[in-house]
Chains A and B, each alone.
Chain A
Amino acid sequence: MTIGTQVGGQHKLATVRAPLPADDSSLVAAYLGGETAAFGELVERYQKRLLNFVYRSIGDRERAQDLVQEVFIRVHRHLHRFDQTKKFSTWIYTIASNLAKNELRNRSRSPLVLFQAIKRNPEPHDRPLQFEDPNQRPDDLYRRRHLKELVEWTVAQLPPHHREAFVLRELDGKSYEEIAEITGCNLGTVKSRLNRARNRFAQLIAPHLD
């Protein structure tokens, strides 16, 4: 929106940016309509979610960042072809899922896979420092931190397909139908993968929670 004002005898133009729409599909429409800031808003909305999703899929933070950037590049290139009757979040997660799968496939063909498998094991000194509640007792803090490491390690132990379904459902809150679309599977496969993932997750974590 452009507003004209008379300041000191000169007519100055001030551009007032209209607030960006709240939902994804309106943001997509706004970007396609020439509102470049809408793309930045989409990046803002999805960067953290996708980074954590890809990181949990491949277990490598640096590579996860590269892949998430690639996701946004692809979204930028192909947004004009996106079917706007569909859900944007499902589409962007599908791109991320495919890139993560390619990464795992490439790694399985490379000798580096052994190194990656070793890196996946939990090592307390290898973890980034996190802010903890200073009011908690040290032994509680230690136990809680240890449990968090353990629970993350447990997720990493799940087979890739099961882990993907588990993360999409439990952490990203996707419906079965969305998971089916993102992973390219039918509903029956999604149910079965989720069931197996949860059973295995429980088997691994239960002894440490008692």
Chain B
Amino acid sequence: MHCAEFQELYSEYRDGRLHDLPLLREVERHLGECPRCARQDLAVRRGVELLRSMPGLEPTPAFRRQLHRRLELVRAGDGVFAPGGLVASLLVAAAVALVLVEGVTRSREGRHIAPAPRVVANPGPPFVGFAQAVQPEPAVADTLQEVDPALIPAVAP
């Protein structure tokens, strides 16, 4: 077995999940022969042992008091008066009020006949421009006569 294979199987081996007996023997043999993998295994075992021997954090006395207070608030506010429920109720009430106000305002506006838009004629004089009348350009047909006939490709009779 190579080190890479051992690395792949290491966690299952450590957690006793390697049920394939020949494979388990191979892993154990490799562990006995390879100092590098044996060192890794030892490091994990000793490191975890140290971690487990540490006392760990204890909740502070304030933790239980605060939790108790928060739970009391939750119990007292269950239902409509729960913080979430109250906010949701207020939002729904505000939305209903807006719809009602809008409806009343529109119904009042609807009683007046809105004036129809009127077309307003331009009261000023019509625009005539400042320039003289434009002379027409010479016709394109005249220019054809000025073209050198030698340049016109001959058409076979």
Contact = CB atoms under 8 A, between A and B. Distances in A.
Contact of A69 (B10, B56, B57, B66): B66
Nearest to B12: A191
A198 B52 contact: no
B25 interface: no
Contacts of B66: 65, 69
Interface residues of B, number: 35
B51 A206 contact: no
Contact of A198 (B44, B54, B55, B56): B44
Given A61-B57, A73-B71, A169 B51 contact: no
Interface stretch (A43-51, A81-89, A90-98): A43-51
Interface string B17-43: 100000000000000000000011111
A188 to B, nearest CB: 12
A35 interface: no
B11 A194 contact: yes
B59 A65 contact: yes
B9 to A, nearest CB: 9
A151 B47 contact: yes
A72 B71 contact: yes
A148 B59 contact: no
B43 A202 contact: yes
Contact of A176 (B15, B63, B70): B15
B48 A176 contact: no
A170 B48 CA distance: 7
Contacts of A206: 39-40, 42-43
Contacts of B14: 198
B60 interface: yes
Contact of A155 (B39, B51, B64, B74): B51
Main secondary structure of the interface of B (DSSP, over half): helix
Contacts of A39: 71
A189 interface: no
B50 interface: yes
Contact of B59 (A47, A73, A170): A47
A51 B71 contact: no
B102 interface: no
Given A47-B63, A209-B43, A195 B57 contact: no
A43, A69, A154 interface centre (most CB from chain B within 10 Å) = A69
Contacts of A52: 56-57
A130 interface: yes
A15 interface: no
A110 interface: no
A77 B63 CA distance: 19
Nearest to A54: B57
Given A195-B7, A195-B8, A151 B44 contact: no
A41 to B, nearest CB: 13
A43 B63 CA distance: 11
Interface of B: 7-8, 10-12, 14-15, 17, 39-44, 46-48, 50-60, 63-64, 66-67, 70-71, 74
Interface of A: 39, 43, 47-48, 51-52, 55, 61, 64-65, 68-69, 72-73, 76-77, 130, 147-148, 151-152, 154-155, 169-171, 176, 191, 194-195, 198-199, 201-203, 205-206, 209
6 contacts: A47-B64, A51-B59, A61-B57, A73-B71, A191-B11, A209-B46
